[in-house]
């Protein structure tokens, strides 16, 4: 759990929340108006994070529920330019997700997202240290 809250801190710090009204939340930078979505690219498996501004982004349907469509795309570092299109439907209070679907990828939980991200970072670190070991500098002298 502490890993997750670290993660939230990182992402919260990365996005400057405008204003500061209603600040004072100790919960990273994610206020109650931000809904996070976690997805995984179908092609390369990259974990993707999307933020929905619940104040502005959802549009109201005829039945008073709220629908948001969000397109998430990867960093491109996997040479994969697949986009994942997520559609979420919220109830009238915008509190509960009534339905969620994704094309081009799959929706995952925050825990799965954190695990995927950690696995990717571990792989990157391993690759970096392997590359460092390959440098022939220490052989000379």
Q: What are the residues binding Zn ion (CB under 5 A)?
A: 41, 43-44, 46, 74, 80, 82
CB of 35 to Zn ion, least distance (A): 23
CB of 1 to Zn ion, least distance (A): 28
32 or 119: CB nearest Zn ion:
119
Q: Put the strands of the sheet holding 66-73 in their side by side order.
A: 59-60, 66-73, 83-90, 97-103
Round to whole Å and give the CA distance between 2 and 23. 22
Which is closer to Zn ion, CB of 9 or CB of 42? 42
* Minimum distance, C-beta of residue 69 to Zn ion, in the bound complex (Å): 19
């Amino acid at each position: 759990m502490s890993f997750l809250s670290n993660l939230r801190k990182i992402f919260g710090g990365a996005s400057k929340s405008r204003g500061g009204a209603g600040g004072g939340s100790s919960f990273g930078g994610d206020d109650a108006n931000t809904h996070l979505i976690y997805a995984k690219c179908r092609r390369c498996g990259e974990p993707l994070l999307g933020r929905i501004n619940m104040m502005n982004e959802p549009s109201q349907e005829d039945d008073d529920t709220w629908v948001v469509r969000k397109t998430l795309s990867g960093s491109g570092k996997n040479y994969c330019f697949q986009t994942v299109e997520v559609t979420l439907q919220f109830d009238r209070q915008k509190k509960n997700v009534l339905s969620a679907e994704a094309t081009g990828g799959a929706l995952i939980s925050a825990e799965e997202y954190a695990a995927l991200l950690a696995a990717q970072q571990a792989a990157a670190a391993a690759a970096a240290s392997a590359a460092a070991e390959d440098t022939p500098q220490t052989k000379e002298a």
